[in-house]
Structure 1
Amino acid sequence: MSISEPTPSIGLTTISRTVASLAVGVVHTLERAVVGEGRMRTARGNAWEAVCADRARADQRAELDRLVAELTAARAAARRQQRERQPVA
């Protein structure tokens, strides 16, 4: 009696993982070659960029809030002046 072992087959998933793994390796190597070792993106660098972007958005929101408050105050002052100029009926 001969027991035949099942032949390992390569599935679509295995090929996809292999291709993805090779692609990541190529991109990583290419980034090192083009950008340079010292300027490669890292998790720490990405986190710092995110913090800076959040701060910039917060500054922009604060500036917009300040402008809206300024416009609201100017509009209210203009309405008060308009009411003071109108004769009382």
Structure 2
Amino acid sequence: MSTADPTTTIGLTTISRTVASLAVGVVHTLERAVVGEGRMRTARGNAWEAVCADRARADRRAELDRMVAQLAADRRQRERQPVS
């Protein structure tokens, strides 16, 4: 005895989910074959890359702040010097 209703149809969302699921599987398999097991992207690796990127941005921002402060100090110094 079958429990499936013969009038049940497959909806567009069911097909989309199926296609998306298959696409993810293909991409995952392809990445594994091309990149290799040891170089697969992981959540831990992604998080570490984000931390490194944040640190690099903070370093660049701090360097820019130092440069702006130095330029402002130089300008103040020039403004204090008497004009010859």
Q: TM-score, normalised by structure 1?
A: 0.86
SS of equivalent residue, structure 1 residue 67: helix
Counterpart for residue 28 of structure 2:
28
**Unpaired runs of 5+ in structure 1?**
none
SS of equivalent residue, structure 2 residue 8: coil
| Aligned counterparts of 1:20 and 1:85: Cα–Cα separation in 2 | 73
The Cα of 1:85 is off from its aligned counterpart by: 3.1
What are the superposed Cα offsets for residues 39-87 of structure 1, whole Å, 9 maximum, x if unpaired? 0000000000000000000000000000000000000000001xx237x
Higher gyration radius (CA): 1
Counterpart for residue 85 of structure 1:
83
| Aligned counterparts of 2:39 and 2:6: Cα–Cα separation in 1 | 49
Moved over 2 A (4+): none
Number of paired residues? 80
% identical aligned pairs: 81
Q: TM-score, normalised by structure 2?
A: 0.91
